Chains A and B, each alone.
Chain A
Amino acid sequence: MKIIVSIADMKVTKNAEDTLITYSLGSCIGVVIYDPFAGVGGLLHFMLPDSKIDPQKAQKNPWMFADTGIPSLFKEAYKLGAEKERLEVRVMGGSQIMDGSGFFNIGKKNYMALRRIFRTNGVLIRAEDVGGSGNRTVTLEVSSGKVLVKSSGDEVREL
């Protein structure tokens, strides 16, 4: 089944027939985790770096922020039998308006926040496609663990 992950949303599954997909990552970031041994996959589409800006919102929807969304993604995957050592982690998105003048650089802040959280928790990134000004659509095929990325006007490619 095709499962759509919206903006500020997260889904995990261990059903081999599922495909997780998130559309149009602008400055948002998509994090895909996959445990090939347990056949567990997860996709998080977070929007902003830090929940401190609106803790109430984070309580209602943790997936809006990197610092609340990323732990939630991993925990939900562990519940389905995934193990940290086996997880393949891929990161996509974090685009910016062209000027990169330091304004509107939410994409970059999102990526920095993610790196910080991963460093603290000893999580390694297997592959990433971040930055630039393109919109990205990301798909995870749970049966194979294949992650496909389509960036603005480009062909689909495997990451």
Chain B
Amino acid sequence: MSLVDKILRKVAQLPPFPVVVQRALQLVANPNSSAQDVVDVIQFDQSITADVLRLCNSAYFSLQRKVNSLREALVLIGFNQLFEIILSRQSSHLFSGPSTGYDLQRGELWRHSVASSLLSGIITKRLGRQPSPVLFTAALLHDIGKVVLSEFVKDYFEEIKKLVQEKSVSFSDAEKEVLGIDHAELGGRITEEWKFPKVIVSSVRYHHAPFSTSDPDETVRLTHLCDVVAMLSGIGGGSDGLFYHSPEEILNHYRLNEEDIERFMIQLEDQFGQVKELLNVT
């Protein structure tokens, strides 16, 4: 069996993505569905509902009255925040283990994921766009491929490192050269397996090469930008460091400058402190 086959077989061993959330994601990506449709799907899952209600009634939200149902939660905290909480809470266990190949302690990859997802909100706001649950999801899950690839990166680390340090190859290109597949492509396969909406699959797959896909959806480019700013800030940074490319066009494309990037980092630091407890981030 080839190494790539071995890696792909490991995908099957990942814990399944909660079906209810999967279904909710498909609705979220569909412009014809409403927030109510999404809530109608989720409310049949008792453990998710109980978790959301417990959080809504916690000190974090300090709401004026007790929230007894998802419909009430929707009204009180709004769809975007409700969706973000559900997705984050249901994804954290996937990322929580150590990723030794990337030299990441337990919880570090999750920190990086949460930082990227927070940046999705910060950046869309600066660009004057509506908050996008689809972008939030892509940003949160962009490194899911690392969860599976980590053990292989560990076994072949010296070869990967050599390419990166001596030949100035980016970390993901080196993964591809040594292992036959990189963590972004693998993440694309995983999200495909989970039947995620196409745009999320492309955003995960091309998060290190945002201009090499013909997908016109901005989510791909924005996911890349969220990842880069999270990497710069150092939150959950591992052995792959900043050994990645970021095309110059990305800033021109959004008419952003360096100061904008600095402001994103300041806001990230603020928000990260606030959500720590809510999202099991240590």
Contact = CB atoms under 8 A, between A and B. Distances in A.
Interface in A7-60: 7-8, 23-28, 47-48, 53-54, 57
Contact of B269 (A47, A98, A99): A47
Interface string B233-245: 1111111111111
Contact of A26 (B103, B161, B242): B242
A109 B262 CA distance: 11
Contact of B234 (A27, A53, A57, A104): A27
Given A26-B241, A103-B246, A104-B246, A153 B233 contact: no
A140 interface: no
Contacts of B277: none
B168 A97 contact: no
A152 B235 contact: no
B235 A135 contact: no
A152 B240 contact: yes
Contacts of B262: 48, 53, 106
A134 B246 contact: no
- Of the listed residues A105, A107, A109, A134, the one surrounded by the most CB atoms of chain B closer than 10 A to its CB is A134
Contacts of B261: 104, 106
- Of the listed residues B170, B231, B241, B250, the one surrounded by the most CB atoms of chain A closer than 10 A to its CB is B241
Interface string B214-257: 00000000000000100111111111111111111011000000
B17 interface: no
A135 B261 CA distance: 19
Using C-beta atoms within 8 Å of the partner chain, give the interface range for chain A: 20 to 34
A7 B244 contact: no
Interface in B163-177: 168, 170
A97 B246 contact: yes
Given A24-B235, A98-B168, A153 B103 contact: yes
Interface string A81-112: 00000000000000111110111111101000
Contacts of A134: 241-243
A103 B239 CA distance: 22
Given A53-B262, A97-B245, A106 B237 contact: no
Contacts of A133: 241-244
B5 interface: no
A64 interface: yes
14 contacts: A7-B234, A24-B237, A26-B234, A28-B233, A48-B262, A95-B242, A97-B232, A97-B246, A103-B250, A104-B246, A105-B258, A134-B241, A152-B241, A153-B241
Interface of B: 103, 108, 157, 161, 168, 170, 228, 231-248, 250-251, 258-259, 261-263, 265-266, 269-270
Interface of A: 7-8, 23-28, 47-48, 53-54, 57, 64, 95-99, 101-107, 109, 133-135, 151-153
Given A53-B259, A106-B261, 10 more contacts: A8-B269, A24-B238, A26-B233, A64-B266, A97-B246, A102-B248, A105-B258, A106-B258, A107-B232, A133-B244
